[in-house]
Amino acid sequence: MLLKAQHLMVLLNRLGDHVTVYAPMLDCRLFTLDLSQRMAQIRDIIRAREYDDVRNAVRDHIASADDLARAISSEIPDYGRLRDGFRQAGVIAPENLGEIRALLSQAQKSNPAHGGDIYYFAFDNNALRNRLYSQFLRQQSPRDPRYNFVLAKQVRNEINCREGKILGGFLNALKIVLPNLNAVAVFQNQNRLTDRLRLLALSEWNQLLTSKNCEVIETGSEKPNAPPDSDLIIIATYEWFAAKPGRKVVLFSSDNEFVVQSSGRTNLMGQRVCYPVELLDSYHSRWEDVSRLLYQLAVLYGRLDLQLSATDVIRLYGVWQDKGAEDWEYEHVRVTMDTGSSPTLKFKHEMIACDIDILNEAIQA
């Protein structure tokens, strides 16, 4: 069964009140979900020290294997990647969200007919990865403000940087060191971890383009991939665009050095987006954000196991052997469950399939 990330609410509605989320790659619990209320609660979130102990044990196992196995240690996400997933899903908001909203309000009030500037909002690579546009700037309804956006072509070049697919000996090494995961079914002919993260950023880039209110700009100084001076190329591109009279460009980034470098430039305003460094023990969150969190983490770890009871497990694949370009474009996840041995799962599978049919009919109407 395939589901779009934006439709994972269909799955959440059928899980029951309490779910434990496991990462088979690490053979550990990440957190539990309480879905009994209008606002979901994410609780018992694994602490950094516990996560590091588990990850280090996996890496030690890798180090005891052959040379190729040792080379795959970078495929095991660190705690920072888990924390980023909470940011990208919208579970964790920027600490300075009020400051950002004040800027948005300033842009709305600026009237070019009365001598005001036309505001454009711009992004570096990490602002795309953190899905700032999708969470706070995208027009959700016709009554919402419609902002102007601009993207530097060099940001796209950074996203294009690739390490390659998981094949041959590399895949065999994953099978050895990650016996709980069924690595072939998950990762064969699929992208490595850093490339999967770039594909998530590319999805946000494409979302901006579909807003029909976004310009992609290039100056001819662009370079392939992410060279050492890539930040300066990006900043110079936005500065060039902002130089036209009547424009003001607000450039979002979570990189303090990047924001400092963008300061003091005509009509270019660097705006840092600040996030908490540590995860809390629990969060109350919208169901939509929990759905997005599951998608982000399924892509990160390859597979999540949603434990409903001692015997009933639903498997959520963000990556699988036959996942293709269309699946990435539509942000598909693959959902499987053992319906043959569990009447409960059989019933849930039937209800989820029915809900999906109803949803598709409503979309097409």
pLDDT averaged over consecutive 10-residue blocks of the chain (365 residues)? 93 95 95 96 97 90 65 87 97 96 94 92 96 93 91 95 80 79 87 93 95 93 89 96 95 96 93 96 96 98 96 96 93 95 94 91 79
Query: How high is the pLDDT of residue 74?
Result: 84
Query: Which residue from 52, 24, 12 is spatially nearest to 297, judged by alpha carbons?
Result: 24
List the structure tokens of 224: 């392939």
Query: How high is the pLDDT of residue 64?
Result: 65
Quick count: other Cβ atoms within 10 Å of Cβ 87? 24
Query: What is the SS3 string spanning 87-117?
Result: HHHCCCCCCCHHHHHHHHHHHHHCCHHHCCC
Return the domain boundaries, the chain.
12-91+281-364, 97-162+196-272
List the structure tokens of 118: 């036309």
Q: Give the CA count within 13 Å in the CB-facing half-sphere of 23.
A: 26
What is the distance between the alpha carbons of residues 321 and 187, in angstroms, rounded to a whole number? 6
Query: How high is the pLDDT of residue 182?
Result: 84
The dihedral of CA 100, 151, 132, 115: what is its sign? positive
Distance (Å) of CA 251 to CA 99, 133, 143: 14, 12, 25
The fold adopted by the segment(s) 97-162+196-272 is Rossmann fold (3.40.50)
Query: How high is the pLDDT of residue 170?
Result: 78
Q: Is 90 left (phi over 0), alpha (psi -120 to 50) or beta?
A: left
What is the distance between the alpha carbons of residues 122 and 160, in angstroms, rounded to a whole number? 19
What is the distance between the alpha carbons of residues 309 and 269, in angstroms, rounded to a whole number? 51
Contact 26, 49 (CB under 8 A): no
List the structure tokens of 267: 């009509």
Q: Give the CA count within 13 Å in the CB-facing half-sphere of 31.
A: 24
Distance (Å) of CA 27 to CA 23, 55, 76, 148: 6, 10, 12, 45
